Amino acid sequence: MRDKIAELLAAAKQAHGRAYAPYSGFKVGAAVLGDDDKIYMGCNTENISYPCGSCAEQNAVGAFVCGGGHKIKAVLVMADSIKTISPCGACLQRINEFADKETTIYLADLEKIRQTYSLRELLPNAFNDLEINK
């Protein structure tokens, strides 16, 4: 798994470099490790109509689905910031759709992983955990 973590870090860094963030200047790269051991990348993509942009994690999950992935084993999110950033609630829910509660979420700067969480820690009350029909 160590090699895969290094590959995730490299992929997220590559995605970060491709981010399109001309309005905020805040670039984010993400990498998803699928159960097929393939890595899928995504970067944030802003739009002049600001709410129309998309998150790096959203794009990485989309690439995972398009690439035929079925289950997410790990996610790495990278930004060039002093404080690590976590996926937003919507992206955590997207990850949750294809992951389990113990899926690892790595938060990194441009050099290394700074924090590690389980999906359960970042999304303790995932929508699928609710008993909405009772």
Q: H-type helices in the chain, by residue range?
A: 2-18, 56-66, 89-97, 119-122
6-45 pLDDT, tens digit each? 999 999 999 999 999 999 999 999 999 999 999 999 999 9
d(CA 5, CA 110): 14
Q: Which domain holds residue 19?
A: 2-129
Q: Is residue 108 part of a domain?
A: yes
For the chain, what is the domain count? 1
Query: Does 134 score more than 80 pLDDT?
Result: no
95-133 pLDDT, tens digit each? 999 999 999 999 999 999 999 999 999 999 888 765 555
> What local confidence, expressed as pLDDT, does residue 80 receive?
94
Query: Does 1 score more than 90 pLDDT?
Result: no
- Residue numbers annotated as active site: 57
> What local confidence, expressed as pLDDT, does residue 133 receive?
53
Residue 117's DSSP bridge partners are: 105
Q: Is residue 134 part of a domain?
A: no
CATH number at residue 9: 3.40.140.10
pLDDT level of residue 68 (50, 70, 90 thresholds): very high
Choice between 122 and 2, residue whose per-residue pLDDT is larger: 122
What are phi and psi for residue 32, nearest 5 degrees? -115, 130
